[in-house]
Every structure is written in structure tokens, then in C-alpha cells.
């Protein structure tokens, strides 16, 4: 049994910053995450993607933000259970919680904070018959490390921000030897500026833009060598490729969280905005996993929610102690 003051379910940016805020109040944290490393979506899906709305950083790569948050929380020595999913929460007679993972690891604490982002993700896969036969053999649903595609022929499918942004990135940084973007329509769902950049790069011959078309098949012997494209006007043809990356988004699901007796609204957890507590006393929900009127799914809003939840958690753990807010600019940061 792993015992701590606060169990944080989700080791993404909001969960990691909550460790820092809890540490300032001398509260220990242990984080559980289904991914094998901290960082959540930022590490798993787009570690090299720049983020522009973190205060004090005009731009910061997602992976670098996680590295900074890990460094910031390090003095408070958080524990981690990684590569395991929290599946059950049981309440003890003395009002503590036992969180058990899919591998049977048990955690005990008086406070649970759910910072699970949008929950469990599954990629939206195109209806290509033999697609799964080539997963990790030339078919990827997310781009983790752009360098993986160095000097390769890459076919990206989709018309949203991810498809546009990665097509632009692979071309402008001279990574892939050839980039083809396949989209069913002539217009894009992504930002107008990104769509215009793709059109301009296509006009310059730097992106092979194939609209009014879909990838309907994959060819290869143990490894992808080509994709089959169905075009509305040109019919069916084959295009050589080393990688096929369908970027149709991810399907979020609360997973086991939906079975924990929490009030759910719009596939998210309802909270009291005074302290982001749930309908179960001692359980809080912070970040993209929660829902309330006026909710903005931004990392910086999650930082605020975690800060307020920690203040409430301190009062619950130490009802007889008065918590006087101490500014780090005056007192500095002292770890355990």
C-alpha cells in the first residue's frame, strides 16, 4: 500500500503543477498515470509542438514545459505509479480513499485529485481494411518525434489543425523527403492561416496536396510501401510512401472514472468552482476532466484549479490548523 496525502490521478501539466502547490503546504503527492512517463498528452501526442498561452513564455515546446514542471515539483519528491490506470476508488471507515490500478497497485490517501485531462484516448481510424496490420509498421496515429520521419515519404490524411500543422512542420523544417496531404474536401477545418500556408506550400511544389480524395488501402510486405488513394475525379491510384499518418483526432472517454459515483455532465466531472470539489467529499477534479459554467479547457486554467483545490484539501486534512498564505517571492521554495 502506497500512502500519501494527495493521490493525483493524471501526471499531465495540471497534475504536476498541483504537486508544487501542495508541496508549498507540506502535503505529499503521489501521481498515477496510464502512460509510461509523466506529461500526459503533451508528452504522448505532441512533445515538439509549441504552446503560446503559458504566462511568461511567449512560446514553449510541450515537452520542454513538462521538463520545467518536473523540475519545479522535484523539491517536493512526488511519487509516481506509471504505466498503470486507476480503476477503482474505495472509501475507508475513517474517510480515506484506496485507489487501485489495473495492475493491483493500491494507494491510500485522505484526498484524491482527478487530473486526467480528457480521459482515455483512442485514435479515430479511417475505414481502411488492412490498416491495423500496418500499425507500427508504417502507420502511426500521432506524431511524437518529427525526426522519426527524416528523409521519408510521408502521407498525412485529414483536414484539421493537426494534419495542417504537421504537414507544414515537416516541410518547413526540411524533415521529410516528401509530404503529401490527403483530404476529402477542398476546404479545411483547421485555422485559416494554416490552411493558407498549406495552399501556398502546395503552389510552390513543396507539399503534394490531394483534395477530394481518401486513402482507401495500404500496400506492403510486412512494412508499408504505398497507399491507395481514391480521387473523386481521377479515380483510384497508388502512391509510394514510407509512412501513413491519419490525423482524424482522438476519441476521449472517461473510462473507469465514469463508474466512481461522481456527477457527470457532458462527459466531464461536475465541480464546485469554489474549490473544484466533486459531489464526493475529499475528491476533486481539476483540468480538462471537469466541467462547470464558463469552463475553458486551457492549461493555465487548470493551474488555477489545482491551486484552489490544494488550499481546500489542506483544510480538510488539517481542520485545526490555520493556513496562512505565504508568498514564494518572500519565503522561497523549501522542499521536503
pLDDT digits (tens, 9 = 90+) for 253-263: 678 888 999 99
pLDDT digits (tens, 9 = 90+) for 271-284: 999 999 999 999 99
Q: What is the pLDDT of residue 95?
A: 92
Do 275 and 237 share a structural domain?
A: no
Do 256 and 109 share a structural domain?
A: yes
- 123: cell is 485514435
Do 40 and 140 share a structural domain?
A: no
**Residue 250, SS3 per DSSP:** strand
Do 255 and 112 share a structural domain?
A: yes
Do 258 and 214 share a structural domain?
A: no
Do 89 and 129 share a structural domain?
A: no
pLDDT digits (tens, 9 = 90+) for 30-89: 999 988 889 987 877 777 788 888 999 999 999 999 999 999 999 999 999 998 889 999
Q: What is the pLDDT of residue 118?
A: 67
Do 187 and 149 share a structural domain?
A: yes
Q: What is the pLDDT of residue 35?
A: 81
Residue 323 lies in a domain: yes
Q: Tens-of-pLDDT digits for all 336 residues of the chain?
A: 999 999 999 999 999 999 999 999 999 999 999 888 899 878 777 777 888 889 999 999 999 999 999 999 999 999 999 988 899 999 999 999 999 999 999 999 999 999 987 666 678 899 998 999 999 899 998 887 899 999 999 999 999 888 998 999 999 999 999 999 999 999 998 888 889 999 999 999 999 999 999 999 999 998 999 999 999 999 999 999 999 999 987 776 678 888 999 999 878 999 999 999 999 999 999 999 999 999 999 999 999 999 999 999 999 999 998 877 767 766 777 777
Give the domain CATH number at 71: 3.50.50.60
Choose the final residue of a domain: 226, 246, 266: 246
Residue 213 lies in a domain: yes
Domains held by the chain: number? 2
Do 88 and 63 share a structural domain?
A: yes
Do 135 and 58 share a structural domain?
A: no
Q: What is the pLDDT of residue 16?
A: 98
Do 103 and 56 share a structural domain?
A: yes
Q: What is the pLDDT of residue 119?
A: 63
Expressed as residue numbers, the domain containing 134 is: 125-246
Q: What is the pLDDT of residue 252?
A: 67
Do 75 and 182 share a structural domain?
A: no
Do 259 and 237 share a structural domain?
A: no
Residue 336 lies in a domain: no
Choose the final residue of a domain: 246, 269, 301: 246
Residue 254 lies in a domain: yes
Q: What is the pLDDT of residue 147?
A: 93
Q: What is the pLDDT of residue 120?
A: 63
Q: What CA–CA distances, in Å, run from 93 to 97, 110, 162, 284?
A: 9, 11, 48, 19
Choose the final residue of a domain: 203, 228, 246: 246
Amino acid at each position: 500500500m502506497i500512502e500519501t496525502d494527495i493521490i493525483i490521478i493524471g501526471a499531465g501539466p495540471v497534475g504536476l503543477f498541483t504537486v508544487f502547490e501542495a508541496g508549498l503546504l507540506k502535503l505529499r503527492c503521489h501521481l498515477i498515470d496510464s502512460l509510461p512517463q509523466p506529461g500526459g498528452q503533451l508528452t504522448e501526442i505532441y512533445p515538439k509542438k509549441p504552446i503560446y498561452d503559458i504566462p511568461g513564455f511567449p512560446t514553449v515546446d510541450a515537452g520542454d514545459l513538462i521538463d520545467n514542471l518536473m523540475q519545479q515539483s522535484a523539491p517536493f519528491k512526488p511519487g509516481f505509479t506509471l504505466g498503470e490506470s486507476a480503476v477503482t476508488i474505495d472509501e475507508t471507515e475513517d474517510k480515506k480513499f484506496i485507489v487501485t490500478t489495473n495492475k493491483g497497485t493500491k494507494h491510500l490517501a485522505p484526498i484524491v485529485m482527478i487530473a486526467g485531462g480528457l480521459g482515455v484516448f483512442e485514435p479515430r481510424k479511417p475505414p481502411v481494411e488492412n490498416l491495423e496490420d500496418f500499425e507500427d509498421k508504417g502507420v502511426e496515429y500521432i506524431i511524437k518525434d518529427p525526426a522519426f520521419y527524416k528523409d521519408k515519404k510521408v502521407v498525412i490524411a485529414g483536414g484539421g489543425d493537426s494534419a495542417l500543422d504537421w504537414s507544414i512542420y515537416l516541410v518547413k523544417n526540411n524533415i521529410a523527403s516528401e509530404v503529401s496531404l490527403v483530404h476529402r474536401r477542398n476546404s479545411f477545418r483547421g485555422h485559416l492561416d494554416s490552411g493558407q500556408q498549406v495552399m501556398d506550400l502546395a503552389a510552390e511544389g513543396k507539399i503534394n496536396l490531394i483534395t477530394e480524395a481518401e486513402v482507401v488501402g495500404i500496400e506492403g510486405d510486412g512494412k508499408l510501401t504505398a497507399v491507395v488513394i481514391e480521387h473523386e475525379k481521377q479515380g483510384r491510384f497508388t502512391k509510394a510512401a514510407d509512412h501513413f499518418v491519419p490525423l482524424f483526432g482522438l476519441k476521449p472517454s472517461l473510462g473507469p472514472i465514469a463508474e466512481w459515483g461522481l456527477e457527470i455532465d457532458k462527459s466531464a466531472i461536475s465541480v464546485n468552482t469554489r474549490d473544484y470539489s466533486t459531489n464526493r467529499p475529499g475528491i476533486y477534479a481539476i483540468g480538462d476532466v471537469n466541467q462547470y459554467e464558463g469552463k475553458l479547457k486551457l492549461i493555465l486554467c487548470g493551474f488555477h484549479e489545482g491551486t484552489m483545490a490544494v488550499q481546500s484539501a489542506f483544510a480538510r486534512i488539517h481542520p485545526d490548523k490555520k493556513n496562512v498564505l505565504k508568498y514564494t517571492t518572500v519565503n522561497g521554495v523549501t522542499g521536503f
